[in-house]
Structure 1
Amino acid sequence: MFTKIFLTIGVLLAIAFIALVIIKIKNEQEVDRIWRSLEVTPTSDRFTEDMVAGLPLPVQRYFLHSIALGTPLASSVSLEMSGSFRMAQEQPWIPMRAKQIISALKIYFLRWGKRTEDNTHTYIPFGGEFTAEKTFNSYTIPSQVGAGWQFGTENYFEFFRAKIEQAEFR
């Protein structure tokens, strides 16, 4: 009797384990498909001064500082970063590493949360500051950032810090 029960439990555990492995493989395949869909082939166009000639002078200076003349124009960037998160003001920073692809055609952010006095969900000021910049493949971009909830208010809670270590423009 006990043998049948243990055998049944063993079979059920094996089936559950196999189901979890199948779900994990399907999820990884979906993530890979989405990741590949964000990778965009670069254009053959190159950055020239003429592209910014009609813009206000501060904008011209920014682009001429940020993109070296002759740089192939990118439509996406793949970033690798390290940084840290914290879940509450009094808790320690937790290290993290991440990869991210940002494609100008496929990026959208909303900041929705419940970091309010009455703990209800609403749109909350969210933002951060760039504290350093670095040049990757002739593009100068912000390379160090801190971000958090209630940005620009006395209740600002920085919970994210990151330093871009590598950027590949495509």
Structure 2
Amino acid sequence: MLLKAATVVAVIALVAVGYFLWSHRRAIDEAESAWATIAAAAQQQAGAAVFDPAMVADLPEVAQRYFLHAIAPGTPLRTTVTLRMEGQFLLGDRDSNQPYAMVARQILAPPDAFVWLPVMRSGVLTITGSDGSLDGKAWMQFWINSLVPVVNAQSTPDLVRSAQFRSAMESIWVPAALLPRDGIAWQAGGADKAIVTISTFENPIVLELTLDETGALTEVVGLRWSDANPEKTFRLQPFGGTIEAEGSFEGYTIPTMVKVGNLFGTDGFLPFFQAEIVEAKYL
């Protein structure tokens, strides 16, 4: 009888393991499919337009400074990028957090489409999954060692709004997506600060970019719709961080070392996302 019971338990355990492995694989495949959809759309939209400094001549000086630094004259205007990054991801809060070594790849098509596929390791633990937004839907799905689901957030209005902010802020990796047009407005916020308003969403997103004298970004911050707070309640709160290095790829000069997180500028700030961009390809 004991042997039979043990056999039943073993079978149930194997079925459970198989189910979680299948769930993980299916979720990764769905993220890869979303990636392919974004890439295909970029190929269809690619045109012959190139950057001309005259395009930004009517903007405030600080905004001109940004674009003239970020986009070389004659660069094809691409608004989708694939990135490879590595660095560190801190899970927890300012008082208690666990660092994970991170490598990731991402496709990004602001203002609201992206797929981020990381691998984060700490000791024997490996976290994989995806974070993404496409066609008005958003998701966050992550597993430990491909078996234990730790995050399974499907599309809700709160999650979509939060994901829209992420994509909008990460436009700093796709400078052509920030060129002035319907839904993108620039104004000066000071000698070295530019205010970018992205009004293509129901809830407009406002970003504050701090530049140095050359036009290089040094800081980016905005109000993100987030529940990353002690109350676990969705609300607008500061999100942002610092840029510590930059590099040039295919005519674009973009931040290559960033440290960003929730509650930027407050005592609760933790730069949980610390990444170095090692490759950027524009589609």
TM-score after normalising by structure 2: 0.52
Q: Which residue of 1 aligns with 2:94?
A: 89
Q: Which residue of 2 aligns with 1:56?
A: 60
Instruction: List, as ranges, runs of 4+ consecutive aligned residues in structure 1 with deviation greater than 6 Å.
Output: none
In the TM superposition, residue 66 of structure 1 has moved relative to its aligned partner by 1.0
| Change over 3 Å in CA distance of 1:24–1:156 after alignment to 2 | closer
Runs (5+) with no aligned partner, structure 1: none
% identity of equivalent residues: 33
2:94–2:269 contact (8 Å) kept in structure 1: no
In the TM superposition, residue 26 of structure 1 has moved relative to its aligned partner by 2.5
3-state DSSP of counterpart to 1:125: strand
TM-score after normalising by structure 1: 0.80
Question: Could you say which structure has the larger radius of gyration?
Answer: 1
Q: Which residue of 2 aligns with 1:150?
A: 263
| Change over 3 Å in CA distance of 1:10–1:51 after alignment to 2 | same
The amino acid that maps onto 1:154 is D
CA RMSD of aligned residues (A): 2.6
1:89–1:157 contact (8 Å) kept in structure 2: yes
Q: Which residue of 2 aligns with 1:121?
A: 233
1:47 aligns with 2:47: no
1:128–1:146 contact (8 Å) kept in structure 2: yes
In the TM superposition, residue 45 of structure 1 has moved relative to its aligned partner by 1.5
3-state DSSP of counterpart to 2:271: strand
| Change over 3 Å in CA distance of 1:17–1:61 after alignment to 2 | closer
Runs (5+) with no aligned partner, structure 2: 114-163, 166-223
Q: Which residue of 1 aligns with 2:34?
A: 34
The structure that is strand-richer by fraction is 2
Distance 2:17 2:98 in 1: 35
Query: How many residues get paired?
Result: 168
| Change over 3 Å in CA distance of 1:81–1:7 after alignment to 2 | same
Q: Which has the higher contact order (CA 8 A, sep 6+)?
A: 1
